[in-house]
């Protein structure tokens, strides 16, 4: 059995999950991942999509040619590899996708976002897959801002200030971005894929930081710019950035997600960061961000 | 019934022009629709839409695994649009029920015969925009940053694809183009979705009538004044002017997307050998689409 810590949850897994933070076995792990038979359909699904079904407290995820995953009550994952594949072929999907859905099932408020520390506070970059979350975090990491999260930011919005709960997962970068940023990479996240783990999970500080700013990433042919969002627009940007928004309604998370987004938008700056994607423009993005951080009263540099 | 209308075309054949016309027809923006906001997810190979609907990170899947899911994704997308439209007041339905979705994929099938694009459940109409392949070649070369000969070789390649994510992740999923003739026949000869043929050259000769006919095909009735306005705001000069002033996200860095926008420009851009190579290879389809040989 492999044992990990994910956010503040203990995981016991029959499948190796590279990139997750190794941890001693907990007496009662919150999440159990096992290999076993998974049904092709759920009885009486209440909602469904091209690759998923929900029935009661169970989510079935089907990835043709890869495998099926049964997620129950945010606690148990059963994975069945497609014929010809081994359980290890499912590691990347479990570490990135299945755990994210499990967080939704647990009712957590979590954003699809990367994060860095700026003067002891967390700055988040949201966007869907391919928006450049990992790249901008890696760029800021090179500039001296510790990377806190790469893909998933769980937020505790219950108190006065929203707190980022880092997941402890190692960042992942595509070969192209890693080369351009001159970042050394580790193993591929999936055999044959040129997306790699970068550094180790333990690099991420396991502390909770107040969220000071949340940027939604946008592409633009124009110079880098920060466009602050207020009120409803800020709340909307946050609710659109939650993990797997397709599941918000079927899992009955609409009200909690909205409330957490409202609280976060009141305590943190929410803005759109639009920039060109090439690295020539990256230095400009860094200047623009530093300017915005000064305006927000965050100091120049994390120590 | 799905509200999706595929705007199918080989690359560099006038798809963006058609999308600008549609945006200017529907958006009614005073100064004309922003070329950088011609519905970003309005493309069949939108990675964002795929990930949103499947809950998956397509960056972790192979091209083959993505293709296995695409028919179901397109059917779900089409189904969701029809369902959304049903909640609108009847007067708003005809337009709201139409989503014109750009598509550079050829009309292909998976090994079990399932149409990659989900067949008639995913879309109810297809508008195929074609352009003289001799005009495509120099434009395609410029867009890809390759030589004209390389562009012609790609147009000859039955295995041609674009938008692969090998070393980095593209916004779009990989598209199977086939060769130029194969692309056109894949759409014209499929029986799943009614198809309306639009020639780029006809859009230039009589944009209003050509645009109106395409809209009528997709069941959209609109008045001549609105069409004239859309045509004026979507002129080549207007689109090029916007690109000059503010840039265009879909262009390669340092290159203009809106380049020349003329029909028959190939005479100055191709050598006689290049033109004749295209005519030899694609003569049958050129004839079928009404493009005559240069001799």
Task: Tell me if B47 is assigned to some domain.
Answer: yes
| Chain A residues touching B72 at Cβ < 8 A | 50-51
Q: For position A191, what pLDDT does the model report?
A: 86
Choice between B131 and B263, residue whose per-residue pLDDT is larger: B131
Q: Measured between CB atoms, does A64 come within 8 Å of chain B? A: yes
Domain that holds residue B70: 4-132+160-258
Give the model confidence (pLDDT) of B41-56 as tens digits. Answer: 488 999 988 999 999 9
Task: Tell me if B74 is assigned to some domain.
Answer: yes
Shortest distance between the Cα of B125 and any Cα of chain A, in A, equals: 22
The pairing of beta strand A147-149 with beta strand A110-118? antiparallel
Task: Tell me if B275 is assigned to some domain.
Answer: no
Helices (H), chain A: 91-93, 99-105, 133-142, 175-181, 231-240, 254-267, 282-296
* B76 CB-near residues (< 8 Å, 6+ apart): A49, A50, B53
Residue A160 φ then ψ, to 5°: -60, -50
Asked which of A75-79, A106-110, B77-81, B285-289 is least confident by mean pLDDT, the reply is: B77-81
Q: Measured between CB atoms, does A66 come within 8 Å of chain B? A: yes
Give the model confidence (pLDDT) of A261-302 as tens digits. Answer: 999 999 999 999 998 877 666 778 899 999 999 999 987 544
Question: How many residues belong to chain A?
Answer: 303
Same domain, A247 and A275: yes
| Chain B residues touching A244 at Cβ < 8 A | 55
Q: For position B111, what pLDDT does the model report?
A: 95
| Chain A residues touching B49 at Cβ < 8 A | none
CB contact under 8 A, B167 and A194: yes
Task: Tell me if B40 is assigned to some domain.
Answer: yes
Output the DSSP codes for A26-91. Answer: PSS-SEEEEE----SS-SS-SEE-SSEEEETTEEEEEETTTEEEEEETTTEEEEEEPTT--GGGGH
Residue B36 is classified by DSSP as G
Q: Out of B56, B75, B168, whose CB is closest to A63?
A: B56
CB contact under 8 A, B57 and A189: no
Under 8 Å CB pairs connecting chains A and B tally to 104
| Chain B residues touching A194 at Cβ < 8 A | 166-167
Tally the domains of chain B.
Answer: 1
| Chain A residues touching B55 at Cβ < 8 A | 49, 51-52, 61, 97, 101, 244, 246-247
Same domain, A82 and A115: no
Domain boundary among A50, A73, A105: A105
Task: Tell me if A241 is assigned to some domain.
Answer: yes
| Chain A residues touching B69 at Cβ < 8 A | 50-51, 63-64
| Chain B residues touching A246 at Cβ < 8 A | 52-53, 55
Give the model confidence (pLDDT) of B68-101 as tens digits. Answer: 999 999 999 887 766 555 554 444 445 556 889 9
Q: Measured between CB atoms, does A92 come within 8 Å of chain B? A: yes
Task: Tell me if B110 is assigned to some domain.
Answer: yes
Mean pLDDT of chain B: 88
Same domain, A57 and A139: no
In sequence order, the β-bridge partners of residue A117 are A122
Same domain, A115 and A201: yes
Q: For position B258, what pLDDT does the model report?
A: 77
Same domain, A10 and A85: yes
Choice between B195 and B253, residue whose per-residue pLDDT is larger: B195
Q: B123 pLDDT band (50/70/90 cuts)?
A: very high
CB contact under 8 A, B73 and A246: no
Domain that holds residue A22: 2-105
Task: Tell me if A201 is assigned to some domain.
Answer: yes
Tally the domains of chain A.
Answer: 2
pLDDT over 80 at A159, yes or no:
yes
Task: Tell me if B188 is assigned to some domain.
Answer: yes
Domain boundary among A58, A85, A105: A105
Task: Tell me if B144 is assigned to some domain.
Answer: no
Q: Measured between CB atoms, does A101 come within 8 Å of chain B? A: yes
Q: For position A277, what pLDDT does the model report?
A: 76
* A109 CB-near residues (< 8 Å, 6+ apart): A154, A155, A156, A157, A242, A256, A257, A260, A261
Q: CA separation (Å) from A75 to A61, B214, B250? A: 15, 53, 43
d(CA A146, CA A148): 6
Q: Out of B69, B165, B168, whose CB is closest to A51?
A: B69
pLDDT over 70 at B276, yes or no:
yes
Same domain, A148 and A268: yes
Domain boundary among A38, A71, A105: A105
DSSP H/E element including B11: none
Mean pLDDT of chain A: 91
Same domain, A188 and A285: yes
Helix, coil or strand: residue A262: helix
Task: Tell me if A303 is assigned to some domain.
Answer: no
Q: For position B90, what pLDDT does the model report?
A: 47
Q: Measured between CB atoms, does A24 come within 8 Å of chain B? A: no
Q: Looking at residue B127, which CATH number applies to its domain?
A: 3.40.50.300
pLDDT over 60 at A189, yes or no:
yes
Task: Tell me if A302 is assigned to some domain.
Answer: no
Same domain, A145 and A180: yes
Same domain, A177 and A281: yes
pLDDT cut 90: percent of chain A above it: 70
d(CA A201, CA B283): 59
Comparing alpha-carbon positions, the chain A residue that sits nearest to B79 is A49
């Amino acid at each position: 059995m492999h044992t990990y810590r994910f956010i503040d949850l203990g995981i016991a897994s029959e499948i190796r999950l590279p990139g997750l933070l190794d941890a001693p076995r907990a007496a009662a792990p919150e999440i159990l991942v096992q290999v076993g038979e998974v049904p092709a359909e759920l009885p009486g699904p209440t909602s469904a999509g091209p690759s998923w079904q929900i029935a009661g407290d169970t989510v079935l995820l089907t990835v043709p040619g890869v495998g099926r995953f049964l997620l129950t009550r945010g606690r148990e994952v059963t994975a069945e590899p497609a014929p010809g594949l081994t359980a290890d072929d499912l590691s990347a999907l479990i570490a990135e996708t299945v755990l994210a859905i499990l967080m939704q099932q647990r009712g957590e408020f979590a954003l699809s976002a990367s994060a860095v520390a700026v003067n002891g506070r967390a700055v988040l970059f949201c966007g869907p897959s391919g928006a450049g979350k990992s790249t901008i975090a890696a760029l800021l990491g090179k500039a001296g801002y510790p990377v806190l999260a790469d893909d998933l930011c769980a937020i505790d919005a219950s108190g006065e200030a929203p707190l980022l709960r880092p997941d402890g997962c190692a960042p992942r970068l595509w070969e192209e971005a890693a080369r351009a940023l001159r970042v050394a990479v580790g193993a591929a996240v999936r055999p044959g894929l040129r997306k790699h783990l970068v550094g180790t999970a333990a690099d991420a500080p396991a502390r909770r930081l107040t969220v000071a700013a949340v940027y939604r990433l946008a592409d633009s042919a124009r110079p880098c710019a920060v466009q602050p969002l207020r009120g409803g627009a800020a709340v909307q940007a946050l609710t659109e950035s939650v993990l797997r928004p397709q599941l918000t309604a079927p899992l009955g998370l609409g009200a909690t997600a909205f409330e957490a987004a409202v609280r976060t938008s009141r305590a943190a700056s929410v803005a759109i960061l639009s920039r060109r994607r090439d690295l020539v423009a990256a230095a400009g993005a860094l200047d623009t961000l530093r300017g915005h951080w000064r305006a927000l009263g965050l100091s120049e540099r994390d120590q | 019934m799905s509200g999706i209308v595929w705007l199918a075309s080989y690359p560099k054949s006038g798809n963006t022009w058609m999308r600008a016309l549609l945006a200017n027809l529907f958006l009614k923006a005073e100064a004309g629709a922003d070329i950088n906001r011609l519905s970003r997810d309005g493309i069949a190979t939108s990675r964002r839409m795929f990930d949103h609907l499947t809950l998956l990170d397509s960056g972790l899947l192979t091209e083959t695994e993505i293709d296995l899911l695409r028919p179901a994704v397109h059917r779900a997308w089409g189904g969701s649009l029809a369902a959304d439209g049903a909640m609108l007041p009847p007067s708003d339905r005809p337009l709201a029920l139409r989503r014109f979705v750009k598509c550079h994929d050829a009309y292909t099938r998976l090994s079990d015969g399932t149409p990659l694009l989900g067949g008639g459940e995913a879309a109810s109409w297809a508008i195929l925009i074609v352009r003289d392949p001799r005009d495509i070649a120099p434009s395609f070369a410029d867009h890809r940053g390759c030589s004209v000969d390389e562009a012609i070789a790609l147009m000859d390649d039955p295995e041609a694809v674009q938008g692969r994510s090998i070393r980095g992740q593209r916004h779009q999923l990989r598209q199977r183009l086939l060769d130029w003739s194969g692309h056109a026949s894949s759409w014209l000869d499929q029986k799943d979705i009614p198809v309306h043929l639009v020639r780029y050259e006809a859009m230039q000769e009589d944009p209003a009538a050509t645009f109106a006919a395409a809209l009528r095909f997709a069941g959209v009735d609109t008045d001549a004044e609105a069409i004239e306005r859309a045509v004026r705001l979507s002129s080549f000069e207007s689109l090029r002017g916007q690109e000059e002033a503010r840039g265009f996200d879909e262009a390669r860095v340092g290159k203009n997307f809106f380049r020349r926008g003329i029909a028959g420009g190939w005479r100055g851009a191709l050598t006689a050998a290049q033109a004749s190579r295209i005519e030899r290879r694609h003569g049958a389809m050129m004839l079928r689409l009404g493009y005559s040989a240069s001799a």
